[in-house]
Amino acid sequence: MLFLCLNLLYRFLLPATLIVINDIAAYIFGFFFGRTPLIKLSPKKTWEGFIGASISTIISAFLLANVMGRSKWLTCPRKDLTTGWLDCDPGPLFKPEPYSLSGWIPHWFPWQEITILPVQGHALCLGLFASIIAPFGGFFASGFKRAFKIKDFGDSIPGHGGITDRMDCQMVMAVFAYIYHQSFVVPQNLSVEMILDQIFMNLSFDEQQALYRRLGEILQQGFQSHS
């Protein structure tokens, strides 16, 4: 059966939202507190805006992952176009786990234990990348525009220099999110059903029959060796 969506949380929504938050926070912190230029390619960007946006993005990633991770619309894997997939077990990444803070905070503090989702740890990695590395996509775009002596890539979005100016950091983030998802998220959610779905999706009917026969022979040999 076709596996339509592994989970929207890492595929698109959270990484894209973090870039938007970082961009807005950088503008706000730079506008009110910006004094020190960050890079010559983007004269309006400041260290104050960069640092403020980084902190805001990482905190937002941790909180948003908790909110989004509790929504079955974003975490349940889809196998068809019906709504039955909403009744699912989203997996261990989205199950709250208690963490003790006794070794980190004074004993008189009221919250000695907190409950978070394991997925929030992954979100911190995405937030760190979105706040520190992804903005360099914007710096590259700025340098590209200056090399061709143009101010903006277009005027489709007034005041933002067109769609391309809104997508420069998103493209860098999308590549990282995909690699991170495939490397650190997918292996933890693998199941026999998912593996078989991926195998049989690319096999013809005759090839599936041959696979079943071969699996039957392996099982029979295993039984005979233990008998």
Q: Are residues 129 and 212 in the same domain?
A: no
Residues 210 and 160 in one domain: no
In a domain, residue 3? The reply is: no
Residues 190-200 have pLDDT tens digits of 566 767 777 77
| pLDDT > 90 in the chain, percent | 18
Residues 104 and 130 in one domain: yes
Statement to judge: residues 61 and 124 lie in one domain: yes
What is the per-residue pLDDT for 155?
A: 58
SS3 106: coil
Summarised one tens digit per residue, pLDDT across range 83-138 is 666 777 777 888 889 888 777 777 777 777 888 998 899 999 999 999 988 777 76
What domain range includes position 33? 8-189
Say if residue 177 is in the same domain as residue 113. Answer: yes
pLDDT value of position 133: 83
- Mean of the pLDDT values across residues 148-156? 61
